Amino acid sequence: MIVALIIACEVGFWVLLALGLAARYLLKWRRTSVVLLLCEPLLELVLFTVTAIDLKNGAEPGWEHGLAALYIGFTVAYGHYTIRWLDGHAAHRLAGGPPPPKPPRYGMARARHEGRLWLRTVLAAAVACALLQAAVWYVGDGDTSSLRSFQWTALRAAGIHGLIALTYTIWPKRDPNPGSALPTRDPEHVPDLLVGGTGKDEKQVR
């Protein structure tokens, strides 16, 4: 049941995101799009609640509970980042906005970009480990080996990502054509078109 719910939450994430972007840029329903996007965290809340109830009802802690914790951690860390990235592309494709800036590819700018992504992975691992530790304490004297193994999985993922990000600082990639490339910005610095500011239609209503 937990695995099926994880799949349903993942599908629900993309469905809500697609509906939110369509409402914002195709139907011009700004407030509706904001409501749809604000429903995204409810998916993680439902998954967390069902997982806790499953353990409370005496289910043996297994890999599916660990997978649920990893999924929640990932969506907490990368969910909004993904929404902002797709929002920039939707604004460009559907509303005639400027093309979203590409992430930097060379030098220390690329290293800083990779470092920020790694910090998100650290956040994802921290959330997952915290949820798994809470489950360990909740289970008490039961078999929690699978939960512990997923904690190490989260820590290893953060460590491996950290080593990869560090290589961009130690061996920064050089631009083969310096001065010819246009300046780039990190996608995290793209204005949040979907949930920020006040639309013209809202100003007219007021």
Establish how many alpha carbons lie within 13 A of residue 58's alpha carbon, considering only the half-sphere containing its beta carbon. 0
pLDDT of 187: 55
pLDDT of 205: 40
Structure tokens at 99: 């093309």
Quote the mean pLDDT of the chain: 86
pLDDT of 102: 87
Q: What confidence category does residue 195 fall into, taking pLDDT thresholds of 50, 70 and 90?
A: very low
Are 149 and 132 spatial neighbours (Cβ–Cβ below 8 Å)? no
Q: What is the mean pLDDT of residues 180-200?
A: 51
- What torsion, rounded to 10 degrees, do the Cα atoms 40, 43, 48, 53 define? 150
pLDDT of 188: 58
pLDDT of 189: 55
* Measured distance CA(187)–CA(179) in Å, rounded: 21
* Measured distance CA(53)–CA(62) in Å, rounded: 14
* pLDDT for 31 beyond 50: yes
